[in-house]
Amino acid sequence: MKIVFLEPLGLTVEAVEKACDKLKKSGHEVVVYPDRKPELNIERASDADVVVESNMLLRKDFFDACPKLKMLSIAFTGLDHIDMAECERRGIVVKNAAGYSTEAVAEETICMMIGLYRHVIENDRITRSCKGPSIAPGREIAGKTVGIIGMGAIGQRTAALAQAFGCKVIAWNRSPKQVQGVTFVDKETLLKEADIVALHIALNNETRNFLTAKDFAIMKPSAIIVNAARGPIVNTADLAEALKNGVIAGAALDVYDGEPPLSNDNPLLTTPNTMLLPHIGFATKEAFEARLQIVINNIIQN
């Protein structure tokens, strides 16, 4: 089989090729491209049996141009960037890299909570400008109620870290669960009681626009939102209005309606007390190494 890596997955080409030794010794051809070039995806994958990539869009035109394709080994947790209906119709197996970024995203969630509470980005800018007093006082997350929406692996790890910081944790999940130290409540109760709302649900038809203006109106004026899940879970226009009008106190976001860079007219660029990160929650050295092994194992086991 010809196995094509459309990108080096945040590692060096040499590291990816070395990790693929077992595949090559089994007689498979492995091609690793050194960069992400979505405009070249079709050209690079046209004669591939297996394609590996992370979060670049793969739609019908891609599959039309890749008649030999039998498998996608996706180096990402979510699959909303893949035309799954088209894959099913063509009999293309799709495997994701579940679990590779659990620690990375949970740690980033706590980082964003603290960063927003302590005005880290704003204070850094003030310090670098060599003028003006710092923004003070900040707030501590200890003693706050963290409401986690979605209690999969990442949500549960975030809960454990939040508890270590002295937070009370409440949660909403689509199906009942038992997690040590976590009280499960309905969505409205969570929004009313939480000081910090952290999102860790998948994006699907049910969760798109899961939080809108009516939900922000329920929240405490002092509450903040942290979204390291998927951008469209939160209605962007409604969130921007809520921040500008002081309906809620702040938001820290790592995900948006599309992948960064953001468009110049994105309303979140001018909202107060907003931390905007370029979708880096999954991006740690440890996570990249783990997901490479997962995507390779998925190919071997298929």
Q: Which residues are catalytic?
A: 230, 259, 279
- State residue 59 phi and psi, 5-degree precision: -120, -170
Do 29 and 3 contact (CB within 8 A), yes or no? yes
Polymer length of the chain: 302
Q: Which amino acid is at 292?
A: L
> How far is Cα 302 from Cα 298, in angstroms, rounded to an integer?
6
Tokens of residue 267, six digits? 């309303």
Q: Which amino acid is at 269?
A: L
Which segments of the chain are extended strands (E)? Answer: 2-5, 29-32, 50-53, 71-74, 93-95, 145-149, 168-172, 182-184, 196-199, 224-227, 250-253, 274-276
Question: How many C-beta neighbours within 10 Å does residue 181 have?
Answer: 11
Query: Closest by alpha carbon to 163, among 185, 188, 186, 141?
Result: 141
- State residue 33 phi and psi, 5-degree precision: -85, 145
> How far is Cα 100 from Cα 283, in angstroms, rounded to an integer?
10
Which residues have CB under 8 Å from 60's CB, separation 6+?
Answer: 83, 86
According to DSSP, residue 101 is labeled T
> How far is Cα 113 from Cα 135, in angstroms, rounded to an integer?
16
Question: How many C-beta neighbours within 10 Å does residue 250 have?
Answer: 19
